[in-house]
Amino acid sequence: MDAHLVSSIDSDEFTHLTRALSRSTLIGLDAEWKPIRSQRSTFPTVALLQLACQLGDDPAEWDESVVFLLDLVSIPLPSIWELLKDVFVSPDILKLGFKFKQDLIFLSSTFGAEGCDPGFDKVEPYLDITNMHKFLQHKQGKKVSKDTKSLSAICEEVLGISLSKELQCSDWSRRPLTEEQLRYAATDAHCLLEIFKIFQAKVVKEGKSCNDVKELHEFNLSLGLKDIFQMPDGDNKLVGTKFCNALDIVQATASSEDCGRIARGLEVIRKTKPMDESLWKIVRKYGEKLLLRESDRKPKTSRKNGKKRSSVVAACKKNQLDSSGDWEGLPPWDISLGGDGWPKFLCDVMVEGLAKHLRCVGVDAAIPLSKKPEPRELIDQAYKEKRVLLTRDAKLLRHQYLLKNQIYRVKNLLKNEQLIEVIEIFQLKISEDQLMSRCTKCNGRFIQKPLTTEEAIEAAKGFQRIPNCLFDKNLEFWQCMDCNQLYWEGTQYHNAVQKFIDVCKLND
Ligand SMILES: [Zn+2]
């Protein structure tokens, strides 16, 4: 293992680090601090930040990696703040960690105390080793344990190597660090890369099954340029480009001194290459983001302290009340998020009927990707597809991961009433020509021009039966661009249109 201690930004090691960052698309992150035993009102100060960089952008040729140990006690923190912030949010670098949110909270407070306020607020794209481990357990047919294991237990199970945990609680603030401490710290970060490789191999193997081929097929064929721009990863590419442009502007306008300082941070990202497609697919499917909220930035108060504890409980209750109350204000919906200027929705399994109803009135309403989605799958999907999650599950509202205006708890029980509720709350303007303008089966859009009967018969071959009685009626046929289902303006269609005119009171 190639490991380097970086103690100053005017060192060869630091140059080596920035070069490695520009060649990495995968980085394992870990941090060490001196544990605080007593209950205090501050977070521990992080003394060491480890970055394990996988060099090269082609996963097929991944064999070279290098670990950097950033000595946060010696390096002036403002000098590396921008650099780290950029790495944490670079769309071209997948960050790996083991429950890294905790580390991020402590890092943020450590940097904040050195004048880098507000520290860090985001790591994206991110993948947690605990989730990869659960995936691997599931693939092996093992019962997925509810409690997350320690990193050393996961290493032992997945890699067959044992990590000593002896040094975890050693004094990381003391200098110089011992050889054992350095080796321990480097191994902790490096093993994240190794576990990821095993995870990735499994995912790639999976991807060769027919299931994924189908997914890929639908994915590529049905998307127009607009949709591609709306894809979360499309955004990233776009952001990446904009970011580079931004650097040019900064360099052209800022003073040379500012410029040097800003550029030092941005340089790394500017030079990184976009991810290889296979890695990108993993990010698209499993990637997540770590977000620090205001509440994360304050240390939790001691349990022994009855008064403070009750105020924390009160604060939690208040949050719940806030988020289970009514929708506050207009949805922050802009056209670049898709949905033609309206919110796009994701209907939880409990309100799947509502999804069909929304589609019938022309509103983009998706359903969960799996039949029994975990709360976090739902939340991930809502995030990635930029949808507002509609649910009847009050528990979901308490989820830290979603912003308050990305989830709405539907109050009514019946589909028609639910539809009216959503139309009113989100102030959707439904007009008659939107009715039946979407595939009720899959939420897809229809082709631009209707098909003639002959064309429809051709399109339906071996796929869908068109009743003979329709042949001489000179009807218009509409085909879903996503699932190819054909619809025609027959009796069913007219009944449905009439029904939704009544439900939405379009005649009044
Ligand atoms: Zn369809």
CA 478 to ligand 1 center in whole angstroms: 11
Cα-to-centroid distance, 403 and ligand 1 (Å): 30
Strand ranges, E, within 247-359: 288-291, 345-347
In angstroms, what is the span from residue 491 Cα to ligand 1's centroid?
Answer: 20
102, 162, 93, 158: which is closest to 132 by C-alpha? 158
pLDDT of res. 271: 56
In angstroms, what is the span from residue 479 Cα to ligand 1's centroid? 8
Centroid of ligand 1 to alpha carbon of 480 (angstroms): 5
What's the confidence (pLDDT) of residue 443?
94
> What is the CA(427)–ligand 1 centre distance, in A?
26
For Cα atoms 158, 164, 170, give the angle at the middle one, nearest 5 degrees.
Answer: 140
Ligand 1 centroid–CA 374 distance in Å is 25
Tell me, in angstroms, the distance from the centre of ligand 1 to residue 268's CA.
43
Residue 392 has which token pair?
């009847």
Confidence class for position 321, pLDDT limits 50, 70, 90: very low
Residue 485 Cα to ligand 1 middle (Å): 6
Please report where in the chains the tokens 């022309």 appear, as a residue.
Answer: 362
Percentage, residues of the chain above pLDDT 70: 75
Question: What is the rounded CA–CA span in Å between residue 267 and residue 300?
Answer: 37
Tokens 């032992």 belong to residue: 156
For residue 26, how far is its CA from the centre of ligand 1 (angstroms)?
A: 37
Whole-number Å distance, alpha carbon 446 to ligand 1 midpoint, is 8
CA atoms within 13 A on the CB side of 434: 18
Q: Rounded to the nearest whole angstrom, what is the distance from the C-alpha of residue 383 to the centroid of ligand 1?
A: 23
Q: Inform me whether the pLDDT recorded for 365 exceeds 90.
A: yes
Task: Give the domains, in start order, of the chain with CATH numbers.
Answer: 2-297 (3.30.420.10), 328-429 (3.40.50), 445-508 (no CATH)
**pLDDT score recorded for residue 259:** 46
Distance 361 CA to ligand 1 centre (A): 15
Measured in angstroms, how far is the CA atom of residue 308 from the centroid of ligand 1?
54
Give me the phi and psi of 70, to 5 degrees please.
-85, 115
**Cα 426 to averaged position of ligand 1 atoms, centre (Å):** 25
- Cα 225 to Cα 221, 228, 231: the distances in Å are 11, 5, 10
**What is the distance in A from the centroid of ligand 1 to the CA of 221?**
13
For residue 454, the one-letter residue type is E
- Cα 393 to ligand 1 centroid, rounded to whole Å: 27
Residue-wise pLDDT for 266-298, tens only, equals: 454 445 677 888 888 888 888 888 988 887 887
- Alpha carbons 347 and 172: distance in angstroms, whole number: 48
Distance 269 CA to ligand 1 centre (A): 40
Top-confidence range, 167-181, 239-253, 389-403 = 167-181
Q: Is a pLDDT exceeding 60 seen at residue 341?
A: yes
Q: Give the pair of three-digit tokens for residue 470.
A: 């329709």
440 Cα to the center of ligand 1, angstroms = 7
The pLDDT > 90 percentage for the chain reads 34
Q: Alpha-carbon distance 94 to 274, whole Å?
A: 11
Q: Are 388 and 408 in contact (CB under 8 A)?
A: yes
Q: How far apart are CA 333 and CA 344, in angstroms?
A: 9
How many Å lie between the centroid of ligand 1 and the Cα of residue 445?
A: 7
Mean pLDDT of the region 304-330 = 39
Distance in Å, CA 353 to ligand 1 centroid: 16
Q: Bridge-partner residues for 484, per DSSP?
A: none
- Mean per-residue pLDDT over the chain, rounded: 78
User: 483 alpha carbon to ligand 1 midpoint, in Å?
Assistant: 4
Residues 6 or more apart whose CB falls under 8 angstroms from that of 403 comprise: none
CA gap 344, 395 in Å, rounded: 22
Tokens of 3: 């490991």
pLDDT in tens, 105-149: 999 999 999 999 889 999 999 999 988 888 888 877 777 766 667
- Ligand 1 centroid to 30 CA: how many Å? 45
Average pLDDT over residues 412-439: 89
More confident residue, 461 or 357: 357
285 by Cβ neighbours in 10 Å (0-12 / 13-18 / 19+) ranks as: middle
Quote the Cα angle for 93-204-198, to 5°. Answer: 70
Report whether pLDDT(325) > 70. Answer: no
Instruction: Determine the Cα–Cα distance for residues 272 and 127; give it in Å rounded to an integer.
Output: 19
Q: How many angstroms is it from 459 CA to the middle of ligand 1?
A: 14
**464 vs 333, residue with greater confidence:** 464
Q: What is the pLDDT of residues 56-67, one digit of tens each?
A: 777 777 778 999
Neighbours of 77 (CB within 10 A): 20
Cα–ligand 1 centroid distance for 468 (angstroms): 22
pLDDT one-digit tens code per residue, 384-401: 888 889 999 888 777 665
Q: Which residue(s) pair with 50 in the sheet?
A: 30, 69
Q: What is the pLDDT of residue 85?
A: 95
Q: Which of 98-107, 284-293, 446-455 has the highest mean pLDDT?
A: 98-107
Spacing, Cα 57 to ligand 1 middle (Å): 37
Ligand 1 center to 207 CA (angstroms):
24
Alpha-carbon distance of 203 to 31, in angstroms, equals 28
What's the gap in Å between 339 CA and the centre of ligand 1?
A: 16
Residue 89 pLDDT > 70: yes
Residue given tokens 């930029």 in the structure block? 386
CA of 439 to the centre of ligand 1 (A): 5
- pLDDT for 467 beyond 50: yes
